[in-house]
A and B are shown apart, each in its own frame.
Chain A
Amino acid sequence: MTTLALSQPEVIQPGRLTLLFRYLRRNKSLAIGLFLVLLLTTFTVIGMLTLDKSRAYPLSVKTKQPPSAQYPLGTDFFGRDLLTAMVVGLWQTALIGVLAGAVGTLIGVVLGFISAYFGGPIDSGIKGVCQILTPIPPFLIQVIIAGSLDKRSVTIYTMAFIVVLLSWMGPTLVIRSQVLSMKERQFVSVAKLSGMGDMGIIFSEIMPNLLPFIAAAFVGQVFMAVFASFYLAVLGLGPLREPLLGNTIWSAQTQSAFFNGWWWWPIEPAVGLVLILGSLALINMGLDELANPRIRRTE
């Protein structure tokens, strides 16, 4: 055994990647969620790069074919190749999700910070608006808006917009409460003593500590956007030509796919949806554990 001198022993820091892997081993939901997302992303990306996208639209291939070597996922009543449809659908769903998610989170972060840091009437105002809008059932409003729009103006982007309209309050309130508590921490007072101004404190001192919360809010927003796009499409309120997963189910249902024996048609998008939402939910749970040091399982 070594004799210790007065100096402190060398602390060998394991590389960041090793620490990451070790953490994933402990946080299984995060690990599995990320893995699934990776799987879906690879599937979608390879698909978008290799397949002919026009086959996702009606009247492009033979109709009502069960899964075979030529059509791995089969085809539907309208002549879409379901494999291509799934790929394009996943891509579009991801687009809506990420777009709406990013916008919702951005609004939440900006408003949450402003509200908490500056306080006073600004805070009361923003908080008040959030509290009034939160109890409004988003589903109802989304259906009304989507239903009253002209069929031609419903695109993926309008869907994203409809979703964000009533989802930004959540992240705003969460970020606000986190900033409120962080504002009182002593490292903020010390930063002030060290000459930092308000903006510096917000961006250098408080923001980095909020990254886990922002990430969790983002994942939550993406989840809600994907889910909303799905159920609106299932009701037939989405952009009907696009091969969105929900649309596929809606059209399968209008043609009584199950009763006619075309089982592959509605099942594939359903499985796709379960995988997407499931992976997002797992990531959310995993991030929850990351952000809350008390739940975080110790080394």
Chain B
Amino acid sequence: MADLLEFINVTKVYSRGLLSKTSMTALANISLKLDDEKPTIMTVAGESGSGKTTLAMLLLGFILPTSGKIRYKDQDISQLRGNDRITFRREVQAVFQDPFSVFNPFYTVDHLLSVPISRFKLAKSKNEAREIMYEALKAVGLRPEDVLGRYPHQISGGQRQRINVARALVLRPKLLVADEPVSMVDASLRASILETLRGLQRNYGVSIIYITHDLTTAYHIAKSIVVLYRGAVMEAGDVDTVIKNPQHPYTRLLIDSIPWPDINRRWGSTEIKARESELTEQSTGCKFAARCPFVFWPCKDPPPLFRLSEYQATSCFLYEENPQIESEKLSELLPV
């Protein structure tokens, strides 16, 4: 059972300044594993500042970790050369948040699809290339004649985002990093785009890492979830369990703040303590301590992961009695 992608104790620290260095830990000791033969949808949930964007950049190979290793098919990605590198580039793709900014305003939308086809030599002739584009567009629910030949500003946001997914589809990736793919799309269109992503996993065997802060959509398409806060894992496990039965105080706050479209389920029970979190605060110990209503004396040390059940673990001292699990084994908690 080969591993498609592996993060081993990956840490990313950003430092600024020439004389006195201020550093910010974007991600601390994250370990993940994705199986090659079992494509799944994993969600990485977190607010801004949680490190999810950094995670996406690391997954795509745009930046390198400060410490730890990232392996693609058992090879360190910073050591990939030649054909291996090309394969990696092709098999790891992304769908970004802003449907408009991924288009080069100088070209029609065709350009977004034709470039990968030609760069990766997916077609032997212009007709074949056209066939591939048509297939991909139809697979995402678009009529090719509706969008091809037009400029990005001439089509709607929903259509643009679907073309983005089509672009990823054209390359038949193994791993798709979806960074807030529907947050800038109208609510009524989200359903169909998410359905398309789910179809990618089911029918084309693509593993998806769905990065978002919107737990409602995560609940619907993912199987497993990892909750990040300030670069550290707060809770992880099966998505149903974690969302319906959150244990970590942060996860509870998150779930409780979701604006459910249900008038019987209004915001409220979890109080939001400490409204402002200092952006530059760097404390050792639990990252959530400053805002946690249950903070007590052990929280000044960084909490390990405590396993609550087969598919749920949380890093909070409130659950000390449970057995610990090393952070490297995080993937064992995530069902496929």
Contact = CB atoms under 8 A, between A and B. Distances in A.
Given A11-B150, A11-B154, A195 B86 contact: yes
Interface of A: 7-8, 11, 185-187, 189-196, 200, 204-205, 208-209
A196 B154 CA distance: 26
A185 to B, nearest CB: 6
B44 to A, nearest CB: 19
B31 to A, nearest CB: 25
Contacts of B154: 11
Interface string B81-125: 000001001100110101001111111000010011001100000
A180 B119 CA distance: 25
Contacts of A194: 112, 115-116, 119-120, 167, 171
A7 B143 contact: yes
26 contacts: A7-B143, A7-B146, A11-B154, A186-B98, A189-B96, A189-B102, A190-B94, A190-B112, A190-B167, A191-B104, A192-B62, A193-B60, A194-B112, A194-B115, A194-B116, A194-B120, A194-B167, A194-B171, A195-B86, A195-B89, A195-B90, A195-B116, A195-B119, A195-B120, A196-B115, A209-B105
Nearest to B143: A7
Contacts of B98: 186
Interface of B: 60, 62, 86, 89-90, 93-94, 96, 98, 101-107, 112, 115-116, 119-120, 143, 146, 150, 154, 167, 171
Contact of A187 (B60, B89, B102, B150): B102
Contacts of B106: 208-209
Given A7-B146, A11-B154, A186-B98, A193 B104 contact: no
A180 to B, nearest CB: 16
Which are the 9 A-B pairs with shortest beta-carbon distances? A195-B119, A194-B116, A186-B101, A208-B106, A187-B104, A194-B115, A190-B102, A8-B146, A186-B102
Could you say which of A185, A193, A200, A209 has the most chain B C-beta atoms within 10 Å of its C-beta? Answer: A193
B146 A193 contact: no
Nearest to B164: A190
Contacts, number: 56
Given A7-B143, A11-B150, A193 B105 contact: no
A49 B104 CA distance: 45
B138 to A, nearest CB: 14
Nearest to B117: A194
B119 A185 contact: no
Given A185-B101, A186-B98, A187-B103, A193 B120 contact: no
A211 B90 CA distance: 31
A205 B104 CA distance: 7
A189 B63 CA distance: 12
A83 B114 CA distance: 56
A186 B105 contact: no
Given A11-B154, A195-B119, 9 more contacts: A189-B62, A190-B96, A190-B167, A191-B115, A193-B60, A195-B116, A208-B104, A208-B106, A209-B105
B93 A193 contact: yes
Contacts of B101: 185-187
B169 to A, nearest CB: 13
Nearest to B121: A195
B89 to A, nearest CB: 6
Contact of A196 (B96, B119, B150, B171): B119
A278 B98 CA distance: 43
A195 B61 CA distance: 13
Nearest to A210: B106
A185 B106 CA distance: 13
Contacts of A209: 104-106
Contacts of B150: 11
Contacts of A11: 150, 154
Contacts of A193: 60, 89, 93-94, 116
A11 B89 CA distance: 36
Contacts of A195: 86, 89-90, 115-116, 119-120
